[in-house]
């Protein structure tokens, strides 16, 4: 998978408000149990499970079976390609070639 495909895959996995809430929750409380995530997110268990599945498939989170429950954790290293892209997005230099010239605007 190319870097562009990896970044797009990560962005797609994060492209839902509930999944962002889950990521933030796991960032604040590592090793969350699935039931605690359901309570914190405030959605049906089946809906949260689907969001967790998407995040896990993208590698954003990991899930470890601990008896009858699953403990989830954020994998920050998995988000590095997306983080690098975002960190590189800066305002263009005022002398950049793609800035419209005041003389050229109608």
The reply to whether 39 falls in a domain is: yes
The reply to whether 79 falls in a domain is: yes
* pLDDT value at residue 102: 57
Identify the domain containing residue 11 by its residue range: 3-85
pLDDT confidence of 64, banded at 50, 70, 90? confident
The reply to whether 100 falls in a domain is: no
The reply to whether 43 falls in a domain is: yes
* pLDDT value at residue 33: 87
CATH (domain of 66): 1.10.10.10
* pLDDT value at residue 65: 85
What is the mean predicted confidence (pLDDT) over 63-88?
88
The reply to whether 96 falls in a domain is: no
The reply to whether 94 falls in a domain is: no
**Distance between first and last Cα of the chain:** 44
CA distance 18 to 97: 39
Dmax over CA atoms of the chain, in Å, equals 70
Domain count, the chain: 1
């Amino acid at each position: 998978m190319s870097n562009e495909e990896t970044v797009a895959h990560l962005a797609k996995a994060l492209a839902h408000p509930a999944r962002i809430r889950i990521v933030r929750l796991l960032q604040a409380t590592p090793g969350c149990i699935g039931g605690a995530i359901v309570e914190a997110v405030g959605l049906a268990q089946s809906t949260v499970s689907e969001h967790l599945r998407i995040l896990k498939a993208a590698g954003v989170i990991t899930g470890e079976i601990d008896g009858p429950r699953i403990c989830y954790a954020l994998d920050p290293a998995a988000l590095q390609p997306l983080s690098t892209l975002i960190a590189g997005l800066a305002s263009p230099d005022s002398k950049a070639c793609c800035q419209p010239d005041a003389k050229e605007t109608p």
